[in-house]
């Protein structure tokens, strides 16, 4: 499994902000945008960049804490 696959990532609509919010709470606070598909792709890039930063600095990645409610078998 790739390191990025350990972290739960999702996109949801924010009524308050009227934009889609991309989240990966174990690594970043979030990003936002108007297109949910493009936002998810950008979210994955940002998360991958964060992982690469940890690895290049020789720091251990945080343990994943946020998990989906239902795991896919």
Tens digit of each residue's pLDDT (9 = 90 or more) over 5-47: 999 999 999 999 999 999 999 999 999 999 999 999 999 999 9
How many domains is the chain partitioned into structurally?
1
pLDDT given at position 72: 53
Residue 36, domain member (yes or no): yes
Residue 73 has pLDDT above 60, yes or no: no
**What residues make up the domain containing 44?**
3-56
Stretch (H or E) spanning 12: strand 10-14
Q: Let me know if residue 72 belongs to a domain.
A: no
Q: Report the CATH number that the domain containing residue 37 is assigned in CATH.
A: 3.30.160
Is 62 inside any structural domain?
no
Whether residue 65 is contained in a domain is answered as: no
- Lowest-confidence range among 25-34, 41-50, 51-60, 64-73? 64-73
Give a yes or no: residue 24 inside a domain: yes
Q: How confident is the model at residue 67 (pLDDT cuts 50, 70, 90)?
A: confident
Higher-confidence residue of 36 and 69: namely: 36
């Amino acid at each position: 499994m790739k390191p990025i696959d350990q972290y739960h990532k999702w996109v949801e609509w924010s009524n308050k902000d009227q934009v889609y919010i991309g989240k990966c709470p174990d690594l970043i606070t979030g990003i936002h945008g108007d297109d949910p598909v493009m936002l998810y792709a950008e979210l994955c890039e940002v998360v991958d960049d964060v992982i690469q930063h940890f690895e290049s600095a020789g720091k251990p990645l945080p343990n994943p804490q946020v998990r989906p409610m239902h795991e896919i078998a």
